[in-house]
Structure 1
Amino acid sequence: MKVSIRHQVSPYLVFFIIYNSQVGVGILSFQRTIAEKAGYDAWMGVLAAGCLVQVLIWVMYKLLGKANGDIIDVHTATFGKLLGKFLSLFIVIYYALASLSVMLEFIEIIQVWMFSAVPSWVISALILMLVYYCISGGFRIVVGLSFLSFIFPQILILVLYMFPLKIAQFSNLLPIMNHSFMDMLDSIKSSMYTIAGTEALLMFYPFIRNPDESRKFAHLGVLFTTLLYTISSIVSFTFYSEEQLKTTIWPELSLTKIIKFSYLERFEYLYISMYLVIVTALISLLLWCSSRGLKKIFNMKQKYALLIISLGSVLICQLANEQFDAMLDKYITQMNLYAFYVYIPLLLLYFTLFKRGNQSG
């Protein structure tokens, strides 16, 4: 089904969509995770992971261009309607679970740092009402929110790095390359999950006007976020000792404690509040992908699919515990690795060899 040009977005906006899809609450805590085995060499793992994401972007554009549609169209053309929709359902479920993971982590941050007495269902319901309102306006509204999530919070993030760099100890990064190859691989794997999100392209590809022109903006978006994550890791590594980093759950968020103004004592409150824009934009994108997928698979109205997912998310957020959070993160990490970095390249190979598709893609 061809998307009307009225609902499509300009190619350059893909830069902001990719940024929005990759920068979430993970940037607040990933430094501790990637340094667990690779130590302060882990920043190189972030760069390597960024290169792999660039390859994945190329593969997805090649695959979607050949099918001239989204991942559901690819599956249908390759495996038929029944099996194709069944396989597509796993991708759609991934989007919903990824949004749930982002929601749970942000709720934890709000409860630990700001409002400990507010129930999880209240926070999730308020965020999802805003998300529902945005998605109801169409994909162009979701993209507009992605643009806003880049402009305003990005300035705050870059300003944040100026303060710890004044007292940074760059000697913490030395000696370089003093960890094993397997430790570096573990760091790359952790980084790949942290900067995940580009797989949303599999659903919004038909909504790009002249998608071939958007490739360079998608690659630039990945390059920008890779550099952002690399800078974030280096700033944290030069500010914290390895022992401090092991006990700091949100290293980047904790950096805000050193920022003091005469008129503003608790800068982290402002930082978390501004971060709500980023989280809302990311959840909106993921739930748009999920509800759009359910609409195509089950031939239902998107607003009903979105309502079902939203109500389910509120319920799960209220009932979730630490064990569930850990299990969810593990499942999403494995699914992200195998479904996108293994399955999608194999699907491109199969589609190229056995299906004609759109040979101009």
Structure 2
Amino acid sequence: MQANIRHQVSPYLVFFLIYNSQVGVGILSFQRTIAQKAGYDAWIGVLAAGCLVQAFIWVLYKLLGKANGDIIDVHTTIFGNGLGKFLSLFIMIYYWLASLSVLIGFIEIIQVWMFPTMPSWILSMIILLSVYYCVSGGFRAVVGMSFLSFIFPQILLIALFIFPLKIAHFSNLLPIMNHSFMDLIDSIKSSLYTIAGTEALLMYYPFIRDAKASKKFAHLGVLFTTLLYTISAIVSFTFFSEKQLKTTIWPELSLTKTITLSFLERFEYLYISMYLIIISSLIALFLWCSSRGLKIIFNRKQKHTLILLCLLSVIICHFDGSFKEMLNKYIIQMNLWVFYCYIPLLLLVLTFLKRSKQNDE
């Protein structure tokens, strides 16, 4: 079911939504993760993962175009109202857990790099208050935040890639393809989770004016973020040795120490502060998806479901590090199986039902 035209956005803005949904805290630390098995050939896995995400975008547009609505409409069309909403509930929980994972990860960065004595509940409340203000303004406000999250931080990202190249060792990348096929597959799996986020399209598709025209912008968004992640991986690989990378938790943040300016001593403070725009807009997008889905499923006001999700997030931020590891493992598994296996199966089932209905008519 399409949304009111007053709440819809232009097709080209999908580019910024895709960028916003894919770039989060993962880009600050994924270099170490993908290099654990495939070494410095892991940048090839990032490109391969980007190709798989392009195929996933094609599947999403086919599926949502046939249902002419969001994932809840897809489920209710195939399984009926009761079972369809029950299955949709798991997707909404995933969106909330994804936002929670981003929030916990960024709070950890703030506590390690800037304010080590600051309690988690204060940081989570400050971030979630701004997120609540954004989401309560409606989907167009969320899209506006996505646009800002692309415009402002790009200057810092470009600077972060240029300065380390002065002392880069490109010989680190040689020889190319000296790892096994299974090692590359492992790096692709890790990269798929890192550049995940396009599944938010399952909820905001009805809010795109002329959704078919936005398809090319979605593919361009994935292409841009894939190149961004690939460049980030290559810059880190040419700067750190493999031993250094294994002990560096946030390689991209560590690269900020190469940037020296006469008027700014701690560039990482500026970088992390500016990165708050990206994180807030990403959390806002996922919480908008989750709260809107819960509004439809339980027939409640979106404001009430949003407040509940924010309160739960503040409480869970107090949990220890073992919970964070368990949460990340659950999200990785759910992302791989639900979105890259279950969603394509839904497309096949819906296509079969549509053709059967046409034959009966």
TMscore range, shorter length: over 0.9
Partners of 2:72 and 2:88 within 8 A in 1: yes
Partners of 1:78 and 1:355 within 8 A in 2: no
- Correspondence list, 1:94-133, <5 A: 94-133=94-133
Q: Which residue of 2 aligns with 1:46?
A: 46
Aligned equivalents of 1:356, 1:133: Cα separation in 2: 44
1:244 CA displacement = 0.3
The one-letter code matched in structure 2 to 1:150 is: F
The one-letter code matched in structure 2 to 1:341 is: Y
- Correspondence list, 1:5-16, <5 A: 5-16=5-16
Q: Which residue of 1 aligns with 2:75?
A: 75
Q: Which residue of 1 aligns with 2:326?
A: 327
Partners of 1:236 and 1:251 within 8 A in 2: yes
Aligned equivalents of 2:133, 2:104: Cα separation in 1: 20
Aligned equivalents of 1:261, 1:330: Cα separation in 2: 39
Partners of 1:67 and 1:357 within 8 A in 2: no
The one-letter code matched in structure 2 to 1:327 is: M
Q: Which residue of 2 aligns with 1:349?
A: 348
The one-letter code matched in structure 1 to 2:340 is: Y
The one-letter code matched in structure 2 to 1:194 is: T
Q: Which residue of 1 aligns with 2:194?
A: 194
1:262 CA displacement = 1.2
TM-score (normalizing by structure 1): 0.98
RMSD: 1.1
Q: Which residue of 1 aligns with 2:56?
A: 56
Aligned equivalents of 1:12, 1:3: Cα separation in 2: 17
Change (3 A) 1:357 1:235: farther
- Correspondence list, 1:120-199, <5 A: 120-199=120-199
Aligned equivalents of 1:134, 1:325: Cα separation in 2: 26
Aligned equivalents of 2:2, 2:195: Cα separation in 1: 30
Q: String of CA shifts for 1:49-98, please: whole Å, max 9, x gaps.
A: 00000000000000000000000000001100111001100100000000
Aligned equivalents of 1:66, 1:332: Cα separation in 2: 27
What percentage of aligned pairs have identical amino acids?
Answer: 76
SS of equivalent to 2:317? helix
- Equivalent residues, number: 358
Aligned equivalents of 1:178, 1:2: Cα separation in 2: 50
1:2 CA displacement = 3.3
The one-letter code matched in structure 1 to 2:350 is: F
Q: String of CA shifts for 1:120-157, please: whole Å, max 9, x gaps.
A: 00000010000000011100000000000000001210
Partners of 2:2 and 2:207 within 8 A in 1: no
SS of equivalent to 1:353? helix
The one-letter code matched in structure 1 to 2:273 is: S
Aligned equivalents of 2:197, 2:11: Cα separation in 1: 18
Q: Which residue of 2 aligns with 1:34?
A: 34
Aligned equivalents of 1:68, 1:124: Cα separation in 2: 36
Change (3 A) 1:78 1:29: same
TM-score (normalizing by structure 2): 0.98
Aligned equivalents of 1:8, 1:162: Cα separation in 2: 38
1:190 CA displacement = 0.0
1:355 CA displacement = 3.1
Q: Which residue of 1 aligns with 2:276?
A: 276
Aligned equivalents of 1:30, 1:84: Cα separation in 2: 35
Q: String of CA shifts for 1:298-344, please: whole Å, max 9, x gaps.
A: 000000000000000000002x1111011000000000000000000
Partners of 2:70 and 2:204 within 8 A in 1: yes
SS of equivalent to 1:166? helix
The one-letter code matched in structure 2 to 1:156 is: L
- Unaligned stretches of 5+ residues in structure 2: none
1:358 CA displacement = 11
Aligned equivalents of 2:337, 2:10: Cα separation in 1: 31
1:356 CA displacement = 5.1
Aligned equivalents of 1:221, 1:57: Cα separation in 2: 10
Q: Which residue of 2 aligns with 1:296?
A: 296
Aligned equivalents of 1:202, 1:71: Cα separation in 2: 5
Partners of 1:68 and 1:358 within 8 A in 2: no
